[in-house]
């Protein structure tokens, strides 16, 4: 059987070469339809969704589990079956969709039931989020922020090159793409004010990130090796960790972000598997000084993954690109983040979500937040039609896209979108 990543594979379903969802991808999501409102698991193929719950009930897709795992409102039950089942299932789905395999291709009645236009599917949060942790792992981003607030000579804190910095966020406000984001309220204290006040955030920002979806467990008190951590990663999503910069500025000393990052984190509805991204693995930046032994890695654990951010104000007819960067720039890899997360004895669970941290590149047009793009408001972003932005305003819509480019195909994530609504 050909490997599901084989670039020569073709599906009997026509797929545009520019589509994010060729047969080499097969990302998982949770969907429903107006005719069938029950939430269930599907995969994206071209402009279609393949209903895995239906295939499972018909006996065409077997995972070895005692109970059905795809007639569920999340991917968690499937992820809990482990990497061997993930790989076997993806291979079987690929086989069913191949242009040279007749089982589904030639069964018109089943095809009509199992495949539906993606435009008719309502997409939901793909995982039940067990816990959410946000890292701070882009050297370019950390340097930019450090230069702004501490000067060039003290841009990086002394620990940054030795340890993947992170904070524990809120799983309860992780939402799927398309969910409107209400402007948060909080305590504000500008440098010129004598005392704090309470009110709507005035410096609302986005953070361009990737999210790691953890599909395995690690026992409390146990460490992970590089290989174990890699095997626990089910896949990745696009992630926008919305940020209230002015609330954070007042609250973050001494314990770090709290309300400034607790109000919303948006993720894309499709989870692209780690296996689908395998052809796009690359070495990350050289790490100097060398990390401590438990963080040293032998594998190429970064990905050549293109990222794009567009902004549309309420006065604009079309969105304008404001950033283009790449996931390959991350100083600390996703595997290192997971290894470090468990290193102190923290138990990891199926459905844990790890934010990569803001992804910025070395060039000015590769900055992954408005804080950097506007250089803390000193260089306002100019948009088509005359609008300017230093931070997000009510009515602004932010769209992030990501993809890996293959030879004649791309493995993409779709998009994660959110529109800002007034605090009310």
| Residues annotated catalytic, as ranges | 141
Is the preceding peptide bond at 258 cis, omega within 30 degrees of 0?
A: no
- The neighbouring-strand residues paired with 267 are 176, 239
Residue 338: C-alpha distances to residues 4, 7, 369 (Å): 26, 30, 24
**Cα 141 to Cα 57: distance, rounded to the nearest angstrom:** 47
Can you say how many angstroms the Cα of residue 142 is from the centroid of all Cα atoms in its chain?
19
**Cα 67 to Cα 310: distance, rounded to the nearest angstrom:** 42
**Cα 71 to Cα 56: distance, rounded to the nearest angstrom:** 8
Residues 6+ positions from 110 with CB-CB distance below 8 Å: 58, 60, 104
Pick from 147, 168, 172: nearest CA to 157: 147
Under 8 Å between Cβ of 212 and 401: no
* DSSP sequence for 54-116: HHHHTTS---S-SS-SSSSSSSHHHHTT-HHHHHHHHHHHHHHHBTT-HHHHT-HHHHHHHEE
Is the preceding peptide bond at 350 cis, omega within 30 degrees of 0?
A: no
Under 8 Å between Cβ of 214 and 352: yes
- The neighbouring-strand residues paired with 205 are 243
| DSSP class of 162 | T
The SS3 assignment for 246 reads: helix
Tokens (6 digits) for 46: 């071209």
């Amino acid at each position: 059987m050909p490997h599901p990543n084989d670039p020569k594979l073709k599906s009997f379903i026509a797929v545009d070469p520019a589509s994010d969802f060729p047969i080499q991808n097969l990302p998982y999501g949770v969907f429903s339809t107006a005719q069938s409102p029950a939430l269930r698991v599907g995969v994206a193929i071209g402009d279609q969704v393949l209903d895995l719950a239906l295939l499972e009930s018909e006996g065409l897709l077997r995972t070895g589990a005692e109970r059905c795992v795809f007639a569920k409102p999340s991917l968690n039950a499937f992820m809990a079956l482990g990497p061997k089942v993930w790989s076997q299932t993806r291979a079987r789905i690929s086989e069913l969709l191949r242009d040279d395999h007749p089982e589904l291709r030639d069964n018109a009645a089943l095809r009509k039931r199992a495949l539906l236009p993606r435009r008719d599917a309502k997409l939901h949060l793909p995982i039940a989020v067990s816990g959410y942790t946000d890292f701070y792992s882009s050297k370019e981003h950390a340097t930019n922020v450090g230069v702004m607030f501490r000067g060039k000579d003290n841009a990086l804190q002394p620990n940054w090159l030795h340890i993947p910095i992170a904070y524990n966020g809120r799983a309860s406000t992780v939402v799927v793409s398309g969910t409107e984001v209400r402007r948060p309220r909080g305590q504000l204290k500008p440098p010129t004010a004598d005392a704090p006040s309470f009110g709507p955030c005035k410096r609302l920002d986005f953070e361009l990130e990737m999210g790691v979806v953890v599909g395995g467990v690690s026992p409390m008190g146990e460490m992970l090796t590089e290989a174990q951590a890699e095997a626990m990663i089910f896949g990745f999503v696009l992630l926008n960790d919305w940020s209230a910069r002015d609330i954070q500025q007042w609250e973050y000393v001494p314990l770090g972000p709290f309300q400034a990052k607790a109000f919303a984190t948006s993720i894309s509805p499709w989870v692209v598997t780690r296996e689908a991204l395998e052809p796009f693995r690359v070495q990350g930046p050289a790490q100097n000084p060398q990390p401590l032994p438990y963080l040293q890695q032998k594998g190429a654990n970064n990905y050549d993954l293109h990222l794009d951010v567009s902004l549309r104000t309420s006065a604009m007819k079309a969105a304008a690109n404001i950033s283009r960067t790449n996931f390959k720039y991350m100083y600390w890899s996703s595997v290192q983040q997971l290894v470090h997360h468990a290193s102190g004895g923290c138990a990891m669970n199926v459905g844990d979500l790890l934010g990569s941290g803001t992804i910025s590149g070395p060039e000015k047009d590769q900055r992954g937040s408005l804080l950097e793009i506007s250089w803390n408001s000193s260089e306002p972003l100019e948009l088509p039609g005359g609008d300017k932005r230093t931070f997000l305003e009510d009515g602004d819509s932010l769209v992030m896209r990501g993809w890996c480019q293959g030879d004649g195909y791309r493995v993409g994530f779709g998009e994660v979108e959110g529109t800002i609504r007034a605090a009310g």
